[in-house]
Structure 1
Amino acid sequence: MRKIASALGSAATLLACASPSVAQTDYPVRPVRLIVPYAAGGPTDTFARSLAASWGRKLNTSVVVENKSGAGTIVGTEVAAKAAPDGYTLLLTTVAHAVNPSIHASLPYRTIEDFAPVGLAARAPLVLVVNKGVPAKTLPEFIAYLKSRPGQVNYGSAGVGSAPHLAGELLNYTAGTKAVHVPYRGSAPAMADLIGGHVEFMLDSAPTGLAQVRAGTVRLLGTSMEKRLPQTKETPAIAEAVSGYEAYTWNAVFVPARTPSAVVQKLVSTLGDALSDPALQSKAFELGLQLETQPTPAGLDKFLRAELEKWKRVAVATNMKAD
């Protein structure tokens, strides 16, 4: 009996030791959840669902979007950080991931150490739109207008730490202006107040902002990427009037730290395949996104560290705080 028990114990030990490699080789064997730290219906969620559909086809399993919004992406990010490092929980996050360490006194996770990078998926430009009552008709005129009225011109955003907020503070930082931030609970009420004249300008996502431009409710003066957007080639990039200005949100994928390297590599290769999917590329163009062509963990790690430093400088210079 002792020999049988010993043999069984040895077999169990061998199986236990073998199971991680088996799991890595067979991955995935069940649906994968993609945590989006934003509410359903927004631009990040819309992109996430299109990405999940394409990525699921490449992984031969379902990629299920789970919205975990709250506290400027902190709620969903914490869920991902504390999930099992097995490849079945992914995090699709944005520029907020790089900003939160600089505007919050503390976070329930470590931005670098608690995650393993998979790859940068997309960059999302913003558009500078103004209330139709603003006298400036061109981008240079608008910058001059801001400089002549320090502390008197308000701009709206989707909330503290949101991409429109960051883009507005970066404008203050690079142009030497002092526009006043007015945070809202989402982009829609901010845009409503821009149209109503309660704030004078906003840097909003390209799809939302351009929809209002087409409707004739606001005026378009500039775009936020270093170069002009293909969708609005006649509109100058803000960098043409403000040297060094470039602001955009982005979508990147992370997994919990200590996720097996074989699993990460499977995710990396299939993410690249998904981003090459014509259906996803068509949706991305519709959303005003610029997809990455060769996402890599090393590339995302370098990018994130640069973003952390960039927004730390801006936060210190503009006294940007969420708490």
Structure 2
Amino acid sequence: MLHRRSAMQSCLLLPGIARAQGDAAEWRPTQPMRIVVPAAPGGTTDIMARMLAQHLQSRFGINALADNRSGGGGTIGTMDVLRAPADGLTLLSGNIGPQAIAYSLFRNLQYRPESLAPVGNMIRGPNALLLHPSIPARTVPEFVAHLKANPGKLAYGSSGVGQSPHLSGVWFCQLTGTEATHVPFRGAGPLMMDLVAGNIQFSFDNLTTSVQQIRAGQVRALAVTSADRNAQLPDLPPLRETMAELANYEVNTWFGMFAHGNTPPGAIAVLNREINSFLNMAETRARFAQMGGVPMPGSPADFSAFVQAEIAKWRGVIQREGLQMDIS
């Protein structure tokens, strides 16, 4: 009788033991994954998504694809991720625009920082001030003089309203006392096509996506927005070194992966580990160097603290400049 009771008790315990073992098992995707790109193909946001999708596909043996959902300065793609199940199978290839600047810039934003879970940062780099070769300026002071001689007549493009290239242009014009017309595009790829074609006269674009056009002479680069020179184009000075009016000017852009805020921590941990593994690969570092970017490995907590600091920084810039707008 005692033996039978013990056996029955053991049987009663087995389901609980099985659940505990299941809970302890490491998360792994068993269905296709999607990385939402809140911009058009061709820009750094898109490149990061496609590179990571290929890595995840090879690591997990599942299909992983980049899904472009452009518009609204990256906010449309962000909302697409927040409407998807919080199961770790949908990631957002985020950046400084919709994940830092947007919170202070847009009055009608439909999400907050806590809506998203930072998974891992990937790459950091400056923007570059780019001109169509027809503009008769070889230095930043010459370009500012040209803008002042043609107030409001030149158009500058950006990869979207509220993205760092847009704010880079706004801040530049305000500090130099110049006027220009902003033309937003649905990503860096369409922007570069129109700049090369001469449909717009200048832009602030991510160096990581414009370095090839600069080297090919399709556009003329005058300076970078970071505080320091970039190793890929060391002859380009930081904007802050070119004119006294720009002494406090500094913009660095970044790109990383986010998930729905309710995604299980186990899935976040596994995906962060894979991002860091990808960033530490020699071929990744070589590709980033060619793009003029720097890998940004770290934990989800590291990325979260970084994003919060960026939100606070851009809140200050936007409030000082009195910038507010609605997502159209």
Q: TM-score range by the shorter chain?
A: 0.7 to 0.9
Compute the RMSD of aligned alpha carbons.
3.2
Amino acid at match of 1:48: A
Match for 1:130: what amino acid?
A: L
> Cα distance 1:16–1:106, how it changes in 2: closer, same or farther (>3 A)?
farther
Q: Say if 1:41 and 1:155 are closer, same or farther in 2 by CA, change over 3 A.
A: closer
Distance 2:45 2:198 in 1: 27
Q: Say whether residues 1:305 and 2:308 are aligned partners.
A: yes
Q: Is the 2:105–2:318 contact (alpha carbons within 8 Å) kept by the matching residues of 1?
A: yes
Distance 2:56 2:190 in 1: 33
Supply the distance in 2 between the matched residues of 1:137 and 1:18 (Cα, whole angstroms): 67
Corresponding letter in the other structure for 1:308: I
Distance 1:79 1:210, change over 3 A: closer
C-alpha separation in 2, matches of 1:212 and 1:171: 22
Per-residue CA deviation, residues 260-310 of structure 1 (Å, 9 max, x unaligned), is 333322222232111101222222233332211x32222222221222233
The aligned residue for residue 206 of structure 2 is 205
- Once structures 1 and 2 are overlaid, which stretch shifts more, 274-283 or 101-110? 101-110
Please report how far the alpha carbon of residue 90 of structure 1 lies from its aligned counterpart in structure 2 after TM superposition: 2.1
Match of 1:102 in 2: 104
Query: In 1, distance between residues paired with 2:202 and 2:29?
Result: 49
Say if 2:288 and 2:295, in contact at 8 Å, map to a contact too. Answer: yes
2:41–2:189: 8 Å Cα contact kept in structure 1?
A: no
1:132-162 C-alpha deviation (Å, 9 max, x unpaired):
3433321233345446665454322233223
Give the paired residue count.
Answer: 312
Unpaired runs of 5+ residues, structure 1, are: 1-6
Distance verdict in 2 for CA 1:20–1:69, change over 3 Å? farther
Decide whether aligned partners of structure 1 residues 208 and 18 sit closer, same or farther in structure 2, where only a CA change above 3 A counts. closer
Shift of 1:207: 5.2
Counterpart amino acid of residue 225 in structure 2: S
- Return the match for 1:249 from 238, 253, 277: 253
Q: Deviations over 1:221-246 (max 9, x none)?
A: 11122211111111112122222322
Report the counterpart of residue 143 of structure 2 in structure 1: 142
Amino acid in structure 2 at the alignment position of 1:229: N
Matches within 5 A, 1:270-289: 270-289=274-293
Superposed CA offset, 1:64-106 (max 9, x none):
1231413332232123223333322222211122222233332
> What TM-score, normalized to structure 1?
0.81
CA, structure 1 residues 119+287, in 2 after alignment: closer, same or farther (shift >3 Å)?
A: same
Equivalent residue, structure 1, for 2:30: 30
Question: 2:52 is paired with a residue of what secondary structure?
Answer: helix
Q: Which residue of 1 aligns with 2:156?
A: 155
Change (3 A) 1:318 1:129: farther
| Separation of aligned partners in 1, 2:34 and 2:189 | 28
Name the SS of the counterpart of 2:232 in structure 1: helix
Question: 1:251 aligns to what SS in structure 2?
Answer: strand
1:238 matched to 2:239 = yes
Distance 1:320 1:176, change over 3 A: farther
Matched, 1:123 2:127: no
- Shift of residue 30, structure 1, vs aligned partner: 1.0
What code does the residue aligned with 2:135 have? Answer: V
CA distance in 2, matches of 1:301, 1:150: 41
- For structure 2, the residue ranges without an aligned partner over 5 or more in a row are 1-8
* CA distance in 2 between partners of 1:192 and 1:89 (Å): 30
Distance in 2 between the 1:192 and 1:318 partners? 31
Cα displacement (A) at 1:114 = 1.5
Equivalent-residue separation in structure 2 for 1:98 and 1:145 (angstroms): 32
Q: Percent identity?
A: 33
Residues in 1 aligned to 2:186 and 2:36: alpha-carbon distance in whole angstroms: 21
> Secondary structure of 1:169's match?
helix
- Rounded to whole Å, the distance in 2 between the matches of 1:196 and 1:60 is 42
